[in-house]
Amino acid sequence: MTNEIVLTGIKPTGKVHLGNYIAAIKPALQIAKESDCIALFFIADYHALTFIQNRDEFNELSYGIAATWLALGLDPDRVIFYRQSDVPEIFELNWILSCLTPKGLMNRAHAYKAIIDHNQQLGLDTDTGVNMGLFTYPILMTADILLFQSDKVPVGKDQIQYVEIARDIADGFNRSYGDTFKLPNYVVDENTYVIPGLDGRKMSKSYKNTIPLFESADSLKKLINKIKTDSIPPNEPKDPDTSNVFLLYKEFANPSQIQELRENYQKGISWGEAKQELFRVMNDYLEEPRKRYNELMASPEIIDSILLEGAKKARALAAPLLENVKTKIGRYKSL
């Protein structure tokens, strides 16, 4: 039996925060470590270009995401780790697939529809703020996925529709030209839950309520102190299971620490002390990766060489399929 191909893309549109780490990065690293799949993780930088059109920001965020994954333990010998823009085959397939994709399929994509609805509510022109990259975003994502004959695509719930679009496009091609693409499946981790931000809403860069993963110790402490809590006074018992501080603590502490804090909640620990405890375990946990992250960010040539090595492997893997596709569409005379 051949190894399963597991592929996922990471869009560099903001500083990585705790929600991204707990719900997306940690489980993906776990999959790569534990299973004998062929894992491909990539920086979807050209997807980010649909939003980030400031040169320095684009550059900083792309390197930042790469450094984050590496600092958290991504092993480039086990995972094919590359930058989307280093693999031109993706963009060639993107064009071929664009020509075979009905426009109506894009009209129905959630993210595009949400913008349209928003514009209409404001009485603006329907397509205000929509660039063509944003409109055809799902086709590029389809090319990312299909080019490697991916079996499994781990994504957040909001991305399920895109993987379904990839299946539709693959199926359409296969019907027209004969069996070519594998139909990918999304994998959504049902155990992950929404990580609350400082204000109690979903932690998200859109709400500006995040705790970025690699803040300095000082600023991490300040942010933790800002986590919203209720007004139960010190010395009164508190319910750990409804506490955002405890919820984050569970992600970073070991079982005996978790048990101890649970008991201390019942004994009436103050919010200030609980936050201090959260800071202590989180800072311990993140200290080493933060150091590695800062070192990598100071040496972008190391990141480049890892990503280029990954791109080489990815291109070698992709080339035969792209040739096959070009043959199928009639690009070559003799075949």
Can residue 27 be called a binding residue for ligand ADP (CB under 6 A)? no
Q: Are 133 and 139 in contact (CB under 8 A)?
A: no
- Shortest distance (Å) from residue 219 CB to ligand ADP: 18
Q: Are 317 and 80 in contact (CB under 8 A)?
A: yes
Among 195, 220, 227, 278, binds ligand ADP (CB under 6 A): 195
Among 22, 29, 40, 47, binds ligand TRP (CB under 6 A): 47
Whichever of 156 and 172 has its CB closer to ligand ADP, that residue is 156
Can residue 240 be called a binding residue for ligand TRP (CB under 6 A)? no
Q: Measure the CA angle with vertex 59, ends 58 and 62; round to 5°.
A: 85
**Residue window 192-211: x/- pattern of binding to ligand TRP, with contact defined by CB under 6 A:** --------------------
Cα dihedral sign, 199-202-203-208: negative
Among 5, 6, 12, 19, binds ligand ADP (CB under 6 A): 19
Q: How many residues interact with ligand TRP (rule CB under 6 A)?
A: 12
Residues 6+ apart with CB under 8 A from 112: 106, 130, 134, 135, 137
Task: Dump the DSSP string for 131-171.
Answer: -HHHHTHHHHHHHHHHTTT-SEEE--GGGHHHHHHHHHHHH
Enumerate residues 296-315 that contact ligand TRP by CB under 6 A: none
Write the CA distances from 41 to 46, 237, 239, integer angstroms.
Answer: 15, 44, 39
- Shortest distance (Å) from residue 102 CB to ligand ADP: 27
Cα–Cα distance measured from residue 247 to residue 241, given in angstroms and rounded to the nearest whole number: 7
User: What does 195 bind: ligand ADP, ligand TRP, none (CB cut-off 5 to 8 Å by kind)?
Assistant: ligand ADP
Cα–Cα distance measured from residue 164 to residue 188, given in angstroms and rounded to the nearest whole number: 13
User: What does 269 bind: ligand ADP, ligand TRP, none (CB cut-off 5 to 8 Å by kind)?
Assistant: none
Can residue 161 be called a binding residue for ligand ADP (CB under 6 A)? no
Can residue 283 be called a binding residue for ligand ADP (CB under 6 A)? no
Residue 5 main-chain phi, psi, to 5 deg: -100, 120
Among 113, 118, 202, 267, binds ligand ADP (CB under 6 A): 202
Enumerate residues 130-169 that contact ligand TRP by CB under 6 A: 141, 144-145, 153, 155, 159
Whichever of 36 and 190 has its CB closer to ligand ADP, that residue is 190
DSSP 236: S
Q: Give the CA count within 13 Å in the CB-facing half-sphere of 278.
A: 28
Cα–Cα distance measured from residue 4 to residue 120, given in angstroms and rounded to the nearest whole number: 44
Q: How many residues interact with ligand ADP (rule CB under 6 A)?
A: 15
Whichever of 16 and 282 has its CB closer to ligand TRP, that residue is 16
Cα–Cα distance measured from residue 323 to residue 137, given in angstroms and rounded to the nearest whole number: 23
- Shortest distance (Å) from residue 259 CB to ligand ADP: 25
Instruction: Scan for tokens 């150091």, then name that residue.
Output: 291
**Interface residues toward ligand TRP, by CB under 6 A:** 7-9, 11, 44, 47, 141, 144-145, 153, 155, 159
**Interface residues toward ligand ADP, by CB under 6 A:** 13-14, 19-20, 23-24, 156, 192, 194-195, 202-206
Residue ranges of the annotated binding site are: 11-13, 19-20, 144, 156-158, 195, 202-206
